[in-house]
């Protein structure tokens, strides 16, 4: 038996997770999987129930689980809270607690959605890139950080910091991934300005000597942001730090039609993992049956593949997504002329029906 911890979170989190669980139930039935599914609290939901965005009960369950599925955290009602109590801290807490340093964010365009992208179809058709984002270091976690009084006014500060070992381990994940794909890796940094990036580049080059078959290139992050919309198909695998990876993956999401399409896997050295869509809690559409559940459903597929070893089940889910798109069913974020607009729950039901 394998244990899955489900953390729906806030906003659209519970809605999209609900659909993803319908899909998981169905695929477990079809594939004869023996899964135990527990539910826990994180983010604002954790704060509301237990005064903590990453409650001790959730922490204990997370450490026992074989894999974790997370919806999203955050919302305007929590913005006035002290920083340690904010929903986002719950997410950062679980990533750091489980040492989930490797965040895989694949941006794949389903051919049916070429028209849904804001870019011309020929720019994005066939897009298949992987962003490998370092997830437990950088300016997100560096010390010192804070707001303090200096010379009669307040200053805010954070510290971008990476150790050689942190850079080396994420570089190895990226090179290994590149070996299984197109064997091209682009490391994105800001080495023309930042010392932390200078070290990043040096270590990536050093690790690259162990991967002579991978063609390694380097790009400054500002140029990378531009190249991603100019000619995104030039990329195979991108490896970058925490903050650049956060920003570039939202940008890459739009190449696939919508941020509602992009799944992610966050892995540690043991490959136990947390799986979540890359988007947030979307307070603007929460509770309206409008959210696209596909990013979360595809996160379930990644979970079955990377942490639970059920490749056939993962493939069934990915095939079902293609079938539903073939049927012309679209949530509002990816709808285009001639397609049928459906809500969150109807999309989940269609995905279940498309699996056999
Ligand atoms: P967001 O990703 O929640 O939303 C950005 C835009 O994309 C919104 O217009 C939203 O409606 C749309 N969108 C997002 N997911 C969608 C989906 N599945 N289907 C259709 N449309 C979708 O980002 P934001 O508005 O900047 O942040 C809202 C809250 O979410 C904040 O509290 C933020 O901190 C949090 N957040 C959480 C995560 C996470 O849990 N991993 C990620 C990003 C942001
Ligand atoms: C993401 C989110 C998180 C991040 C926030 C909510 C802490 O934007 O998962 O991409 O910045 O990593
Ligand atoms: Mn983000």
Each residue's pLDDT tens digit, 153-201:
999 999 999 999 999 999 999 999 999 999 999 999 999 999 999 999 9
Report which of 53, 71, 61, 81 is spatially closest to residue 4, judged by C-alpha positions. 61
Pocket test residue of 91, 253, 264 for ligand 2, highest count of atoms within 8 A of CB: 91
Summarize pLDDT for 191-231 with one digit per residue, the tens: 999 999 999 999 999 999 999 999 999 999 999 999 999 99
Ligand 2 pocket residue status of 88, Cβ below 6 Å: yes
Report which of 298, 316, 337 is spatially closest to residue 108, judged by C-alpha positions. 298
Ligand 1 pocket residue status of 285, Cβ below 6 Å: yes
The residues annotated as belonging to the active site are: 140, 190, 222, 246, 250
Nearest protein CA to atom 7 of ligand 2, as residue: 88
Mean pLDDT for 272-279 is: 95
Q: Is the peptide bond before 192 cis (omega within 30 degrees of 0)?
A: no
The alpha carbon of 278 and the centre of ligand 2 are apart by a number of angstroms equal to 8
Q: Would you tell me how many other CB atoms lie within 10 Å of the CB of residue 10? A: 28
Summarize pLDDT for 64-109 with one digit per residue, the tens: 999 999 999 999 999 999 999 999 999 999 999 999 999 999 999 9
Cα angle: 228, vertex 230, 235; to 5 degrees: 45
Ligand 2 pocket residue status of 92, Cβ below 6 Å: yes
Task: Give 118: exposed, middle or buried? Use CB within 10 Å, 0-12, 13-18, 19+.
Answer: exposed
Q: Which ligand is nearest to the CA of 262?
A: 1
pLDDT at residue 275 in the model: 98
Nearest protein CA to atom 30 of ligand 1, as residue: 280
Mean pLDDT for 238-252 is: 97
The alpha carbon of 186 and the centre of ligand 2 are apart by a number of angstroms equal to 22
pTM for the full predicted model: 0.96
What's the pLDDT band for 117 if we cut at 50, 70, 90?
confident
Interatomic CA distance for residues 293 and 157, integer angstroms: 37
Helices 311-326 & 344-353, crossing angle to 10 degrees? Answer: 120
pLDDT at residue 271 in the model: 67
Ligand 2 pocket residue status of 134, Cβ below 6 Å: no
The alpha carbon of 148 and the centre of ligand 2 are apart by a number of angstroms equal to 25
Ligand 1 pocket residue status of 44, Cβ below 6 Å: no
Mean pLDDT, the chain, integer: 97
Q: Counting atoms of ligand 1 from 1, which one is nearest the CA of 333?
A: 20
Q: Does position 310 have pLDDT exceeding 70, yes or no?
A: yes
Among 108-122, 170-184, 242-256, 307-321, the least confident range:
108-122
Interatomic CA distance for residues 260 and 254, integer angstroms: 9
Pocket test residue of 11, 13, 73, 88 for ligand 2, highest count of atoms within 8 A of CB: 88
Interatomic CA distance for residues 327 and 303, integer angstroms: 26
Domains within the chain, CATH numbers bracketed: 1-103+261-356 (3.40.718.10), 128-255 (3.40.718.10)
Ligand 2 pocket residue status of 278, Cβ below 6 Å: yes
DSSP conformational letter for 261: G
The alpha carbon of 140 and the centre of ligand 3 are apart by a number of angstroms equal to 12
Q: Does position 144 have pLDDT exceeding 90, yes or no?
A: yes
């Amino acid at each position: 038996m394998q244990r899955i911890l489900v953390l729906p979170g806030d906003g659209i989190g519970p809605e999209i997770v609900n659909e993803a669980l319908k899909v998981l139930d169905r695929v477990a039935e079809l594939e004869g999987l023996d899964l135990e599914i527990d539910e826990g609290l994180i983010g604002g939901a954790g704060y509301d129930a237990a005064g903590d965005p990453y409650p001790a009960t959730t922490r204990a369950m997370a450490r026992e689980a074989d894999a974790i599925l997370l919806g999203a955290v955050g919302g305007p009602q929590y913005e006035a809270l002290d920083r340690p109590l904010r929903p986002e801290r719950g997410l950062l807490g679980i990533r750091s607690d489980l040492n989930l340093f490797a965040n895989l964010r694949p941006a794949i365009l389903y051919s049916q959605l070429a028209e849904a992208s804001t870019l011309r179809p020929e720019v994005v058709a066939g897009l298949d890139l992987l962003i490998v984002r370092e997830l437990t270091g950088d300016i997100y976690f560096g010390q010192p950080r804070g707001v303090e009084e200096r010379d009669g006014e307040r200053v805010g500060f954070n510290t971008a910091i990476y150790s050689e070992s942190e850079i080396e381990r994420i570089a190895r994940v990226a090179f290994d991934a590149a070996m299984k794909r197109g064997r091209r890796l682009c490391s994105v940094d800001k080495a023309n300005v930042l010392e932390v990036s200078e070290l990043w580049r040096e270590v990536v080059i050093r690790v690259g000597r162990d991967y002579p078959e991978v063609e390694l290139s380097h790009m400054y992050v500002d140029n990378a942001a531009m190249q991603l919309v100019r000619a995104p198909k030039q990329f195979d695998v991108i490896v970058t730090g925490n903050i650049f990876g956060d920003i570039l993956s939202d940008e890459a999401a739009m190449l696939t039609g919508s941020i509602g399409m992009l799944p992610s896997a966050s892995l540690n050295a043991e490959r136990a993992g947390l799986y979540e869509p890359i988007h947030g809690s979307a307070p603007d559409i929460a509770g309206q049956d409008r959210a696209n559940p596909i990013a979360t459903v595809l996160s379930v597929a990644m979970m079955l593949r990377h942490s639970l070893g059920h490749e056939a089940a993962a493939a069934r889910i990915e095939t079902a997504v293609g079938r539903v798109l073939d049927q012309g069913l679209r949530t509002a974020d990816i709808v285009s002329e001639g397609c049928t607009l459906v809500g969150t729950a109807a999309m989940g039901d269609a995905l279940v029906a498309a699996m056999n």
